[in-house]
């Protein structure tokens, strides 16, 4: 698989430092907190998802979206699976913590 290495200085970012959402709140209004630490998961397979489901760590969230309700209603199913951030490592063989302030380049897979 071809790879390109892109220096972080070449990537346009809104702020001086890259930021990744690490937490959010809803009271009194939706707010996000950003941090420089991110987790990167390596290697996954469907059996890890099944194990997390069996442990009760993954929830099935059936979603239904109704479009054109007043004219020609159409139902779209948008089911999702959800997992708490603290349990995300259950879906990967290896998890690595990365400090974005220490990253010199980003490798992009084409």
Q: How far apart are CA 97 and CA 89, in angstroms?
A: 11
Residue ranges in 1-110 assigned as alpha helix (H): 46-54
Q: Which residues have a Cβ under 8 Å from the Cβ of 3 and sit 6 or more positions away? A: 107, 108, 109, 110
Q: Which domain holds residue 66?
A: 3-109
Report the chain's terminal Cα–Cα distance, integer Å: 7
pLDDT tops 70 at residue 7: no
Cα 59 to Cα 19, 44, 88, 102: the distances in Å are 28, 18, 12, 35
Question: pLDDT tens digit string along 11-25?
Answer: 444 334 444 455 566
pLDDT in tens, 25-77: 666 666 666 788 888 889 998 899 899 999 999 998 888 888 888 888 888 88
Whether the CB-CB separation of 83 and 90 falls below 8 Å is answered with yes
* pLDDT value of position 13: 42
Give the count of domains, the chain: 1
């Amino acid at each position: 698989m071809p790879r390109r290495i892109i220096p972080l200085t070449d990537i346009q970012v809104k702020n001086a430092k890259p930021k990744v959402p690490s937490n959010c709140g809803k009271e009194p209004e939706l707010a996000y907190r950003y941090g420089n630490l991110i987790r990167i998961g390596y290697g996954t397979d469907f059996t890890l998802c099944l194990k997390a489901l069996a442990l009760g760590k993954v929830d099935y969230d059936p979603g239904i979206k109704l479009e054109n309700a007043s004219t020609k209603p159409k139902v779209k199913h948008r089911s999702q699976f959800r997992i708490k951030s603290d349990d995300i490592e259950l879906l990967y063989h290896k998890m690595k913590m990365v400090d974005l302030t220490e990253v010199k380049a980003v490798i992009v897979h084409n």
